[in-house]
Amino acid sequence: MISYELEPQQQQVKEIVHWFAENEMRPISMLADKLANVPDDWLRKVNNIGISMSTSTLGEGSKSEGQKKERQGNRLAVIATEELAWGDAAIALTLPGPGLGGPPIQHSGTPEQKQRFLSIFSRDEEPRWGAYALTEPEAGSDVSGIQTTAVKTKGGYILNGQKIFITNGKRASWVVAFATINKELGRAGHRAFVVEKGTPGFSCSRVAHKMGLRASETAELVFEDCFVPDENLLGGEEYYESKGSGPSGFRVAMKTFDTTRPIIAAMATGIARGAYEYTIDLIKKEYPLHGRQFQMAAETLASIQQSIEAARLLTWESAWKADLGLPNAKEAAMCKAFAGKMALESTSKCLELLGPIGLENHIVEKMYRDAKIFDIFEGTNQIQQLIVARHLYEPFGIRV
Amino acid sequence: MISFMPNEDEISFVDVAKSFAIEHLRPRSRLIEETGEVPDDMAGKLQELGFTTLELLESFDGLELPLVSQVQVLEALSFGDLAAVQGLPGFNETASFIRANPENPLFVSLKDKRPTGSLLVNPFHHSLTIQTNRNGYRLNGVSIPVKMGEVSTLLIIAGVDENREDVLLLLEKETHQWKSVIGDRRLGLLASKCARLQFDQLEVPEDCVLARGEAARQVTRDALARIRILEAAKEVGTMAAALAYATEYTAGRKAFGQEIAKFQGVSFTAAQMAIQTQGARNLVWHAAKKLDDQEPDAIQASLSALHFAHRAVRFVTDSAVQLLGGHGYVQDHPVEKWMRDAQAQVNLWESETELLVKSGEYLLLGKEGNG
C-alpha cells in the first residue's frame, strides 16, 4: 500500500537526530566552517554518546518470504541523514563511523572482514573513521579508468597509485581503495582492498582547501609499494574466482553507489531544507505580509518547498527499493541528480531572498557553498543522467 | 511505513486502464481530435468500466475511490490520450464538489441523474457578474471558457458577488438556460468541448445556492484541491506517454552513423524527462495520500503537485517534440499533439504563478490570502 507515514521507530530516530542537529551541530557550524575542522573534543563527546555516521545498516534488502519484518535500513538512513545535513553537512560527514566505506564492506566483505573492520567503531573508545577511495587525478567520473595498480605477490598485493577527494581519508582507520590487477582487463581487473592506517607505503599527501564543506576533511592519498595482505582483499580471492569474469571491484564500486547516492541525495535535501527553514523564519519576521515583496517571497518559497519535497520523495523511493532488494540504480541516480541540483538552486534562491545581508554571518551562504559539491561527488549530475539514460535505453538494446 | 507499492486492486485497475489506453484511446486519438469528440462507443465502454465515476460517491453509483487510487488510474488512461479523457461525459469536476460536501441537500437531489458536468471558477474580475437580488442572484455576461461547456447539463459556479462575498451555485440546464459560445480553438484538448457560457440576466433562485461566505470558500477550497490532484495525475500520464515515445524513437532513429540515443544531447534530455516525470508522479501520489488522510497541509500539497506537474508536462512534451526533430513537428507522430494538449491543459487549470503564490501564502500565513 502506498504510504508516506513514518514508523514509530523512524519517527523517533528523526526526532532524536533532529534534536542533535539543532542543539549540538548548529551551534558549532559556523565555527567549524571557519576553522575548516570539526573540533576533536566535540568529536570525542559525540562518539561517547554514541552518535555516528552509521552506514552499516545500508545495503540490499531481502525479498525472502520467510522474513517476518521488512528491512528498513536504507529508509532509516535517508531519514536520519536529512536531519544531520539540516544541522551541518560538513560535520555530518565528519561524524565517526565507517562512512562511505561501510556499504562495500557490508555487502561485499567476507564475514571475517565485516567483523574486523566494522566492529572497531565503539562509543567506549576513541572515535574512528572509515573511508572510501575511488577517485584518482585521471579517473573521476570514468571509474573504469583507474590507474592505481595492485600486483599480486606472495601473501598479498603491492599497491601503487594516488587517490584524491577522499572524505576523512587522513583520519580514517581504514580505507576501501580500488586498484587494478591488470589494466588490459578493464573493469574485470578491478579489485577493492581495505588498506589500514599505518600500513607502510600508505600516506596522506595533502588535505584540500575547498569552496564549501570546509569542516569536512578531503584528503589525497598515496600508495607507494604498499603491501596489502590477501585477507584485506574485499570479499577474498574466492569472491572474484567464483564469479568468473563478470563481477569485479568495479561492480563493488557501482553497487556501493546504489546505496550511497540516496544518502547523498538526502544530505542535499537536508541542506536545502535548512536554508529554506532559516529563510522562511526570517521572512515571516522581517517582510511585510502583503504587497509585491510578499508575493515574490511567497512564490519563491513555494517553489523551493516543492522542490525539496520532490527530492525527498525520489530519495525515499530509491531507499525503499533498496530495502526491498529491488534494483534501484536508476532511482538512486534520479534522486541524486535531482537533489544535487535542487540544493544549489534552493540555497541560491534563499540567498536572493535574504539580499546582501545574507552574505554576512548567515548560515545560508555557507549552505550555498556546501550545496555545490552535492551536484558533483558520488557521481556528477551528468553521470547520473547517463545512468538514467542507460536504464531507459536498455530495453531497446542500446548502450548509451 | 514508507512504501511506493500500489495495492492489488490498484494494480489490476491500472492494468485495465493502461490496456484500454493503448488499444483503444491511442489509435483513435487523431480521429477524436478531428471530430472534436469522444465516440459514443468508446465513452460507453469507459463508463461501463467505471472510469468516468472514479470520484463519484457510491450513493450516486460511483466508485468513490480514494484519490491515491484514482491518480494511478487517470495516469494510465491519459497515457492513451489526454484530450479523450478530458472529453468524457459524467459529473466530471462537479463530482469533487459533491465529494467535498456530500450532505448538501442540493447534491442529494442529483443522485439519480446522469448529467455532464462543468465547473466555472469565476473570480470577481471576469466579464460575468453575479448580482444579489431579492430571490437569490442574477447572472449576466459571458464566462471564461470551461471544459465541457459546449455540452454540459450541470454547472457549478464558484464565484464572488458584487459585495465580494463568495457564493457557490448549482445550475441545471433543464431549468436554467444558458448559452454555450463555442470559440475557434486550435491549440489542444479539442475533444474537451471547451466553451464560454453566456448568461442573459439569468435569475438564480435561492434553492440553487449551495453555499455562501466561508462555507462556500471551504467547499471550493476542498474540491479544488481534489481537482488539482486529479488533473496533475492526467498530466503525469501525458508525460509518461511522451517519454516512452521519444525514448523508443531515439533508440531507433539513426544519424551520423549511429542511433541518436547515443548522443548525450539526446540521452540526457530523455533522462531529464524521466526525472521530471517521476518527480511529478511522486508529488501527485503524496498529495493524494495527504488529502485522503485529511492532513492539515493537504491543500498546500495539491498546489505544489499541480504546479510541478504543469511545469514538468510543458518541459517533457516539448522535449519529446524536440527529440523527434522535424518529425516531431508534423502530425505523423503524436508528440506535437501531446505538446499542444499539455499547454491547453496548463491553461485550463490555474496559472503556474497563481499556484505558487497560493502555495506560498499557505507556507507563510497558514491560509490562502485575499488575492
Q: What is the DSSP string of A254-277?
A: HHHHHHHHHHHHHHHHHHHHHHHH
Greater model confidence, B2 or A290: B2
Distance of CA A371 to the CA centre of its chain: 13
Chain A 60-89, CB below 8 Å of chain B: which residues? 70, 72, 75
pLDDT in tens, A116-131: 999 999 889 999 999 9
Question: What is the Cβ-side half-sphere exposure of residue B110, based on CA atoms within 13 angstroms?
Answer: 33
**B349-370 pLDDT, tens per residue?**
999 999 999 999 999 999 887 6
Q: Classify residue B256 as left (phi > 0), alpha (psi -120 to 50) or beta.
A: left
**What CATH topology corresponds to B215-365?**
Butyryl-CoA Dehydrogenase, subunit A; domain 3 (1.20.140)
Q: DSSP secondary structure string, B166-205?
A: EEEEEEETTTS--EEE-----SS-GGG--BEEEEEEEEEE
DSSP character at residue A383? H
Q: How confident is the model at residue A108 (pLDDT cuts 50, 70, 90)?
A: confident
Q: Which residue's C-alpha cell is 536529512?
A: A82
Q: Give the fold, CATH level 3, of A130-249.
A: Butyryl-CoA Dehydrogenase, subunit A; domain 2 (2.40.110)
Confidence (pLDDT) at B125 = 64
- For helices A291-324 and B352-365, the axis angle rounded to 10 degrees is 90
Pick from B268, B359, B361: CB nearest A389: B268
Query: Which single residue is written with the C-alpha cell 450516486?
Result: B60
Domains in chain B: boundaries: 8-88, 96-212, 215-365
Alpha helices in A205-328 (DSSP H): 236-242, 249-286, 291-324
What sign for the dihedral angle of Cα A350, A356, A357, A360? positive
Do residue B2 and residue A5 have CB atoms under 8 angstroms apart? yes
Considering only CB atoms, which chain A residues are within 8 Å of B248?
396
Please check the confidence at residue A63 and state whether its pLDDT lies above 50.
no
pTM value > 0.90: yes
Contact (CB<8Å) B268/A3: no
Cα–Cα–Cα angle for A280, A282, A283, rounded to 5 degrees: 65
* Alpha-carbon separation of residue A242 from A237, A238, A248, B214 (angstroms): 9, 6, 11, 71
Q: Does B315 reach chain A within 8 Å, measured CB to CB?
A: no
β-pairing verdict for B258-259 and B254-255:
antiparallel
Here the ipTM equals: 0.96
E runs forming strands in chain A? 130-133, 149-153, 156-167, 174-180, 190-196, 202-207, 218-229
User: Per-residue pLDDT averaged across A154-168, rounded?
Assistant: 96
Q: In b/e form, how buried is each residue of A264-282, taking b as 16+ CB within 10 angstroms?
A: bbbbbbbbbbbbbebbbeb
**The pLDDT of residue B198 is above 60:** yes
Establish if A310 touches chain B: CB-CB under 8 angstroms: yes
Run of H or E residues at B160: strand B154-160
Instruction: State the pLDDT at residue B65.
Output: 98
CB atoms within 10 A of CB A183: 11
Contact B1 A72 (CB under 8 A): yes
Chain A neighbors of B289, CB-CB under 8 A: 2-4
Given CB atoms, is B294 within the 8 Å cutoff of chain A?
A: no
A256-396 topology per CATH: Butyryl-CoA Dehydrogenase, subunit A; domain 3 (1.20.140)
- Tell me how far CA of residue A214 lies from CA of A20, A97, A164, A189, B73, in angstroms: 20, 19, 16, 35, 48
Q: Which amino acid is at A113?
A: Q
Q: For residue A384, list chain B residues with Cβ-Cβ distance below 8 A.
A: 271
What are the start-end ranges of the H helices in A36-96? 40-48, 73-94
Q: What is the rounded distance in angstroms from the CA atom of residue B131 to the CA atom of residue B124?
A: 11
Q: Residue A207 has which C-alpha cell?
A: 588535505
Domain limits of chain A? 8-118, 130-249, 256-396
Q: Provide the percentage of residues in chain A whose pLDDT is more than 70.
A: 94
Cα–Cα dist B269/A224, whole Å: 43
Within 8 A by CB and 6+ apart from A272, the residues are A304, A307, A308, A311, A339, A342, A343, A346, A347, A367, A371
Backbone dihedral region for residue B325 (phi beyond 0: left; psi -120 to 50: alpha; all else: beta):
left
Is A82 designated active site? Answer: no
**C-beta of residue A197 within 8 angstroms of C-beta of residue A232:** no
Residue at grid coordinates 503556474: B352
Say if residues A367 and A87 touch (Cβ distance below 8 Å).
no
**A269 within 8 A of A79, measured Cβ to Cβ:** no
- Chain B segment 123-142 residues within 8 A of A by beta carbon are none
pLDDT digits (tens, 9 = 90+) for B39-97: 999 999 999 999 999 999 999 999 999 999 999 999 999 999 999 999 999 999 999 99
Nearest CA-CA distance, residue B10 and chain A, Å? 9
Q: Establish if A10 touches chain B: CB-CB under 8 angstroms.
A: yes
B253 touching A (Cβ < 8 Å): no
**Nearest one of A338, A342, A339, A340 to B274, comparing CA atoms:** A338
CB B3 within 8 A of CB A6: no
∠ CA A182-A188-A193 to the nearest 5 degrees? 75
Residue B260's pLDDT is 98
Contacts with A216 (C-beta within 8 Å, 6 or more apart), sequence order? A38, A89, A90, A91, A93, A94, A167, A168
Question: How far, in Å, CA of B230 to CA of B52, rounded?
Answer: 12
Give A199-222 pLDDT, tens digit per residue. 999 999 999 999 999 999 999 999
Cell 464565484, residue located: B159
Name the pLDDT band for A243 (thresholds 50, 70, 90).
Answer: low
Q: Are B52 and B20 in contact (CB under 8 A)?
A: no
Write down the pLDDT at residue B371.
58
Amino acid identity for residue A216 in this structure: S
Task: Give residue-wise pLDDT tens across range B125-153.
Answer: 669 999 999 889 999 999 999 999 999 99
d(CA B160, CA B180): 21
- At A271, list the grid cell: 541542506
Q: Which pLDDT band holds residue A153 (cuts at 50, 70, 90)?
A: very high
So what's the pLDDT on residue B298?
97
Tally the residues of chain B.
371
Q: How many CB contacts within 8 angstroms connect chain A with chain B?
A: 158
Report the distance separating Cα A176 and Cα A133, nearest Å: 6
CB atoms within 10 A of CB B105: 8
Map grid coordinates 606472495 to a residue: A154
Find all residues with CB under 8 Å of B200, minimum gap 6, and list them.
B140, B179
User: One fold for both A8-118 and A256-396?
Assistant: no
Q: Mean of the pLDDT values across residues A181-197? A: 91
Q: What is the CATH number of domain A8-118?
A: 1.10.540.10
C-alpha grid cell, residue B98: 459533491
Q: Is the pLDDT of residue A248 over 80?
A: no
Angle, helices A291-324/B264-292, rounded to nearest 10 degrees:
100
Query: Could you confirm whether domain B96-212 is CATH 2.40.110.10?
Result: yes
- Contact between residue B73 and residue B54 where contact means Cβ atoms under 8 Å apart: yes
d(CA B282, CA B68): 11
Q: Which of A83, A220, A365, A378 is catalytic?
A: A378
Task: Using a CB–CB cutoff of 8 Å, tell me whether B5 touches chain A.
Answer: yes
Please judge whether B251 and A303 are an interchain contact, meaning their C-beta atoms are less than 8 angstroms apart.
no
Tell me: pLDDT of A107 over 90: no
- Give the CATH superfamily of B8-88: Acyl-CoA dehydrogenase/oxidase, N-terminal domain (1.10.540.10)
Label residue A59 by pLDDT band (50, 70, 90). low
SS3 state of residue B140: strand
